[in-house]
Amino acid sequence: MIRKGRFDLTGKIAAIVGGGSGIGEAVAVGAAESGARVIVLDANEAAARSVAGRICTASPSGERTPAGAAMLDIRDGPSVNRAFDAIARDHGRLDIVICTPSINVRKPILKYTEEEFDRVVAVNLKGSFNVLQAAGRIMTAQGGGSIVVFSSIRSQVVEPGQSVYAMTKAGIVQLVRTAAAEFGGAGVRVNAIGPGVVETPLTAPIRANEDWYNAYAGKSALKRWARADEMVGPTLFLASDAASYVTGTILFADGGWTAIDGRFTPPGM
């Protein structure tokens, strides 16, 4: 029997990077509801503080602790180090780091500019590396912790216009595997989440196109898009003690997208 306590995050210090909107916001709220002391980090400081202002953690005694918030640009390695060092110093440790931010420029390879390439790589790949490195340094020294980085179904399957985005999301999987191998001896787990199509600000342009929206909905086994809050369970599972022997892997939360071909159902099926 699985004890509810294995999923409990009470007493854990959790930094949610990208927590100002979308999936990150949903995860920040979910982590607080599960008992974690949450610090919301986002490039948009006002958004981070807005989310933090709406959530707090209840202690076993019933006392409610407000979430923390700060601005963080994950492209800036020294800033990431300073932010995580400050959390560890203020709270005595850093137990959970969840990194959700990414950007995309949908464009054929032959039309991609160098500036666009650099921009996507800087956020998705370099930013994820900065977070892994900064969190790993603290967690290996303290002897434990869990890091969850967001990849995508695009690490496995692609479509026209997804070259650089897909490249970065595949790179995140290999970063996670390597970090898991390097940090595991110190009791630090590192995993990735692979969402399918999720209703977030990043996907707003697609949702505005009815044909595009319906095509994506039809590709999953569940025949719909995911809500941002549906990424909370898989993410917090990896962050919690329920996943104490899970590391170096990617958990797909894609409604069956990568499990099926889905282009044609033969007659009589």
Residue 2 banded pLDDT, cuts 50, 70, 90? very low
DSSP label of 226:
B
What average pLDDT does range 164-184 have in this prediction?
Answer: 98
94-120 pLDDT per residue, tens:
999 999 999 999 999 999 999 999 999
CA torsion 230-233-236-237 (nearest 10°) is -140
Domains of the chain: 8-255 (3.40.50.720)
Catalytic residues: 165
What average pLDDT does range 113-131 have in this prediction?
Answer: 98
Q: What are phi and psi of 35, to 5 degrees?
A: 105, -5
| CA–CA dist 214, 206 (Å, integer) | 10
Tokens, residue 205: 């342009």
Q: At residue 167, does pLDDT exceed 70?
A: yes
Q: What are phi and psi of 146, to 5 degrees?
A: -135, 130
Residue 188's nearest CA partner among 90, 99, 95, 100 is: 95
| CA–CA dist 67, 16 (Å, integer) | 11
Q: At residue 263, does pLDDT exceed 70?
A: no
